[in-house]
Amino acid sequence: MSSLSVTIIQTRLHWENKQANLHMLEEKISAIKEKTEVVVLPEMFNTGFSMRPEELAETMDGDTVQWMKRIASEKKIILTGSIIISEKNNTDYYNRLIWMLPNGEYGVYDKRHLFAYAGEDKHYSAGHKRFIASVKGWKVNLQVCYDLRFPVWARQSFPTNNGSEPEYDLLVYVANWPERRSHAWKTLLQARAIENQCYVVGVNRVGNDGNDIYHSGDSMVIDPMGEALYHKKDEEDVFTIVLNKSTLQSIREKLPFLKDADDFLLLNKD
């Protein structure tokens, strides 16, 4: 059974300052001493959670995607996190997670659930498709921040009667989740792990943003039983953990709860 090394970067972000954020993150990535295969950055890692896409959006040929390609290639890692992307002649904007491979190929996931409480739905377009990546035999479901509150969007989906494997093994959330709702963040990360019998990695930022909203981080790694393998509050941290596929398989075999799950079909409400 394969293992997967994942590095979490919990950090402060320079408000709407791309150059400063990319320089800071490159220094943190370069300082990683452990062997790692996947490095996870927070939501909107080059700007902070901004509602000014008209000024800050880039195309998929822009500087930040090129930076991700260079870092992934030089460090021989998969690099992931979300940024503001423009499409259709700069009239549509997306909070887009990018899964960048060392060879320059990539996959994308556009945030499905836009945070209307902060007006995200007024500035961004919602995504419509889940994105599940593959690495070393692991299947990784990639989601963004507010998606965490909607369990159906993360629910394992697979035929229950023909012995098929669950849809994914690891669920990743990148976030700018405020401290004032940190209890929900921590509780829901554990719930997603338990109900889907998977590992969960949640990576959040720390510090105040440009709206003076404080973020406590509380980045976590949760095992398939809902136990926290890692949790860091308030402080910046770069942490590498090895996830074991054998542990996951053992839990699923001993506690085969997923086979009793309800069948369902996700419909596009748009």
Active site residues: 43, 111, 145
Tell me phi and psi for residue 188, to 5 degrees: -70, -35
Task: Quickly list DSSP for the chain.
Answer: --EEEEEEEE----TT-HHHHHHHHHHHHHT--S--SEEE--TTTTT-S-S-HHHH-B-TTSHHHHHHHHHHHHHT-EEEEEEEEEETTTTEEEEEEEEE-TTS-EEEEE-SS--GGGTHHHH-PPP----EEEETTEEEEEEEGGGGG-HHHH-----TTTTPPPS-SEEEEEE---GGGHHHHHHHHHHHHHHHTSEEEEEE-EEE-TT--EEEEEEEEE-TTS-EEEEEESS-EEEEEEEEHHHHHHHHHHS-GGGGPPP-------
Q: Which residues of 189-204 are buried (b: 16+ CB within 10 A; e: fewer)?
A: bbbbbbbbbbbbbbbb
CA–CA distance, 226 with 233 (Å, rounded to integer)? 18
